[in-house]
Amino acid sequence: MAKQQTIKKEISLKGVGLHTGQEVNLTFKPAPENSGYCFVRKDIEGEPVVEADVSYVVSTQRGTNLQKEGVTIQTSEHVLAACVGLEIDNLYIELDASEPPIMDGSSKFFIEALENAGIQEQEAEREEFVVNEVICFKDEETGSELVVLPADEYQVTTMVDFETAVLGTQNASISKISQFKEEIADARTFSFLHELEMLLDHGLIKGGDLQNAIVYVDKEISPETMEKLRAAFKKDSISVKPNGILDNLTLHYPNEAARHKLLDVIGDLALVGTRIRGKVIANKPGHKINTDFAKKLAKIIKVEKRNNVPKYDLDQPPLMDVNQIMEILPHRSPFLLVDKIVELTDTTVVGVKNVTMNEPFFVGHFPGKPVMPGVLQVEAMAQTGGILALKSVPDPENYLTFFMKIDNVKFKQQVVPGDTLIFKLELLAPIRRGICQMQAYAYANGKLATEAILMAQIVKQK
């Protein structure tokens, strides 16, 4: 697995916030392993920290805004996109105002600053959410939809349709995150003229000028609007280019709007807090659906972490089949409860049992509603653990393992015919004097079914 990364030294830049118009100093600083991205408000007593966590999203109007215990961070997405684009995992982002500087409306200047600071590899392994099934979220009202599919790398595709003559359907894609710097980072934020008028009327985009936002002219500009724009942007004159955008700015790409939407998706999904290995397809994305999707992913990841479900291709040949298991364990049908071993190291073992209706215990255990007895699930985990325990001796066929103690047994869900049980056991301490203590889990249907702490003794047969 890849290692986590931070930066080698601190580095600063300054500018104005797009919506606040306030001058702001931003400093990137190295952060310890497993810190994630942390915004630090230097202008507030105590220098409170707001972690880049989707649970802190309070507003998605014209940007993704976070708030923790009354402390606000506005328009977080462009900075976070740069962090993900450079595969930085841990970073302190210090601000002396609520909003990072807009710079030119893209992530370009943040990328440049972070690269100038240098990337530093850390010791801890990078955590990654591996997508194994299709996950989707749709807003029925707007038609916006985000989907993530299994893929070998983090990939993103955006499809936008603004249903206007000046800016219609556009697409943008990256097939690996390393393409972000060259293909996405300099794509600038944009607005339509009718939105711009509304924002100006409400006292927003105080830090805007014609160099940090593309303005698409989707309506005829009245003399009154022209005067309002000249005053807002402090320009002597303003006109519309033939391609339908206000002057003083040239598009970097014909599909710059779609590329910026891709930038926003990456920045917003950074709030999940875990790297994603999968292909994200975003149809008509926006900050609200991006963060709603991030919340769904974060919830799935939280459940997966809690369950810690091991992933194995059960169609592959096992390390040990049932005949090899019987060479080590003394158990026989109908009391041999492990069908195969798929992983075996010095500290971990993973076994599998296919539960069928032909199990003899179903005859008398809730025959009208067959359920595998919990005590037999524990026994099956213990038999799997016996394989791990006996690995520590050179001639396992001459030894037996016996239960000494069972602690903290919890049954989470029923196990029924048709389920495939996966048992995972890990040593809690090195085996000493034949005493083996293991944390044991049993999973069914991708969920934790049973857990316990088992202690056994390895005894030589007489």
What residues are labeled active site? Answer: 287, 365
Question: CA angle, 191 as apex, 185 and 192 as ends, to 5°?
Answer: 145
Q: Which residues contact 159 (CB under 8 A, 6 or more apart)?
A: 169, 170, 171, 258, 281, 282, 283, 284
Residue with the two structure tokens 């809730």? 366
Report CA-CA distances (Å) from 288 to 50, 194, 218, 219, 384: 19, 20, 23, 26, 47
Q: Which residues contact 455 (CB under 8 A, 6 or more apart)?
A: 403, 404, 405, 406, 407, 435, 436, 437, 438
Q: Pick the closest to residue 92 from 104, 105, 83 (CA basis).
A: 83
Element (H, E) at 260: helix 256-269
Spatial contact of 275 and 126, defined as CB atoms under 8 Å apart? yes
Q: What is the DSSP letter of 255?
A: T
Beta strands in 238-327 (DSSP E): 275-277, 279-283
Report CA-CA distances (Å) from 356 to 322, 361, 371, 372, 414: 16, 11, 11, 10, 14
Spatial contact of 49 and 238, defined as CB atoms under 8 Å apart? no
Spatial contact of 72 and 12, defined as CB atoms under 8 Å apart? no
Spatial contact of 290 and 265, defined as CB atoms under 8 Å apart? yes
| Cα–Cα distance measured from residue 117 to residue 110, given in angstroms and rounded to the nearest whole number | 11
| Cα–Cα distance measured from residue 114 to residue 92, given in angstroms and rounded to the nearest whole number | 12
DSSP for 182-199, written as a single string: HHTTTPPPEEEHHHHHHH
What is the number of residues in the chain? 462
